[in-house]
Amino acid sequence: MGCTKWDEAELTRGLGEEFLVSTTVVKRYPCHATAHAAVRAVRDLQAEHGFSGPEVEAITVTGTRRMVERHNILEPADLMLAQYSIPFCVALALHREARDPESFDETALGDPQIRALCRRVRLVPAPGAEHAGMGSRVAIALADGRHFEGRAENGMLEPGELDDKFLRLTRKTLGEPGAGALRAAAAAR
């Protein structure tokens, strides 16, 4: 059954005056929201301790039972499933810039290092976390015996990161002139 009532004026209401991006929460990573906290946690641990993806022996991500049931995709068949796969997103984040939408491409899907690490990511439910938020605890074991643990509650943008997100999403279209205009506008604020 189709829609029988509409108002075409609603399509342009507030056009050029109201920008929803400034009033909504914007995701930091180009993957499903359930993967954000785990990706953030591994990126934070990697930045703090200076290890690389190939050094990682195993990863355990603790989250909600729903995350484990729906997003524990160890062998994603296409890019859409890869973005829903917490193991794939975590593995990609340790090998590429996870905030860059261009990192999630066919070469990532076929990258043997990302695929191998994806298979070494275990998702486990946190006791009593059936109705908790999408936060994740991450434990990383390196081949040299070092272990690191971290936690993140989400992976949403923080104040000041929206300009970077905009540039990442538009650089192919706007190029450096668009980036320069955005920087000039930001400086004028």
What is the band of 121 on the pLDDT scale with cuts at 50, 70, 90?
A: very high
Question: Which residues are within 8 A (CB) of 122 and not within 5 positions of it... i.e. 6 or more apart?
Answer: 58, 59, 60, 61
Residue 180 is assigned to a structural domain of this protein: yes
Question: Which residues make Cβ contacts (< 8 Å) with residue 77, sequence separation at least 6?
Answer: none
Identify whether the C-beta of residue 37 lies closer than 8 Å to the C-beta of residue 134.
yes
**Res 35 pLDDT > 70:** yes
What lies within 8 Å, CB to CB, of 65 at 6+ separation is 125, 129, 130
Establish if 1 belongs to a structural domain. Answer: no
SS3 state at 13: coil
- What's this model's pTM, rounded to 2 decimal places? 0.77
Domain range holding 164?
Answer: 157-189
What is the mean pLDDT of the segment spanning 9-23?
71
Rounded to the nearest integer, the mean pLDDT of the chain is: 85
The whole-number pLDDT of residue 49 equals 97
pLDDT at 28: 83
Hey, CA dihedral for 36, 39, 44, 45, is it positive or negative?
A: positive
Domain-located, residue 10: no
Q: Classify residue 7: in a domain, yes or no.
A: no
CATH number of domain containing 73: 3.30.1330.120
Domain count, the chain: 2
